[in-house]
Amino acid sequence: MTNIRRPAVAGLFYPDDEPRLRKMVREFLQDADTAGPLPKAIIAPHAGYIYSGPIAASAYALLREGRDLIRRVILVGPSHRIGFHGIAVSHSDSYATPLGNIPIDRTAIEKILDLPFVKRLDEAHSLEHSLEVHLPFLQTVLDRFELLPLVTGFASPSQVTAVLERLSDGSETMTVISSDLSHYHDYATARRLDRATSAAIERLRPENIGDESACGRVALNGLLYYALRNGLTARTLDLRNSGDTAGGKDRVVGYGSYVFE
């Protein structure tokens, strides 16, 4: 029997109604003022769509160039629900959203299961939003693709790098790192902190990105190490916070989107 990971935050972080969700994502993408070649990897935020959707769309708009090319997406995000050591894969055969089901790349999972820090842990996936909120964007900008969803627990950036080194081969593979930036500072402080984080990303300086800089720091820094090893460059596409989109300015969350080429 097929094992499907059902949506956990549909109706909370994004609409659970297929027509409304499709319309919202398409409008975000239409409003995205970004241009450039198809990237090798992106970083995008994972908050509720009214807060971070426009910023995420700035990166996803570039992936439309790969609609008929990209066949595998490595999606890496942090665990918000449970604590565990290492990087978790799922037993699921597919991830579901209101837009349909996305098949899991079982072959890719088998390629990394021998790494001592990779484990099957469905509990890390079942309620986790950091991966789920990206799926409707991927389903809108890409055609047929398989997903490799990875949740990081108490892991190191070098472990993420090791996974990417094994799997990020060829133009058919896209890597998506899921991370928000600073949390719950006032607007001016958040802007200052998030500008510093963006500068560190553009300069490929993982040592300058700490726990308070980005909730997805482990995966983000893993990508930076991978970029250093493989000659990629990074640029910022969009940098805003919840005070710019749909919230007050006394306690904001920062959001950035970045491409690696």
DSSP letters for 10-49: BTTTB-SSHHHHHHHHHHHHHH-----SPPSEEEE--S-H
Burial class (CB in 10 A: 0-12, 13-18, 19+), 232: middle
| Region 4-260: CATH code | 3.40.830.10
Whole-number Å distance between alpha carbons of 198 and 219: 15
Say if CB 176 and CB 138 are below 8 A apart. yes
pLDDT in tens, the chain (261 residues): 579 999 999 999 999 999 999 999 999 999 998 888 999 999 999 999 999 999 999 999 999 999 999 999 999 999 999 999 999 999 999 999 999 999 999 999 999 999 999 999 999 999 999 999 999 999 999 999 999 999 999 999 999 999 999 998 778 999 999 999 999 999 999 999 999 999 999 999 999 998 889 999 999 999 999 999 999 999 999 999 999 999 899 999 999 999 999
Whole-number Å distance between alpha carbons of 220 and 201: 9
So what's the pLDDT on residue 28? 98
Say if CB 77 and CB 151 are below 8 A apart. yes
So what's the pLDDT on residue 50? 97
Pair type for strands 173-178 and 41-44: parallel
Whole-number Å distance between alpha carbons of 185 and 253: 7
Whole-number Å distance between alpha carbons of 57 and 62: 9
Pair type for strands 118-120 and 87-89: parallel
Question: What is the pTM for the complete model shown?
Answer: 0.97
Whole-number Å distance between alpha carbons of 155 and 243: 31
Whole-number Å distance between alpha carbons of 239 and 195: 8
Say if CB 259 and CB 39 are below 8 A apart. yes
Burial class (CB in 10 A: 0-12, 13-18, 19+), 248: exposed
So what's the pLDDT on residue 1? 56
Annotated domain spans of the chain:
4-260
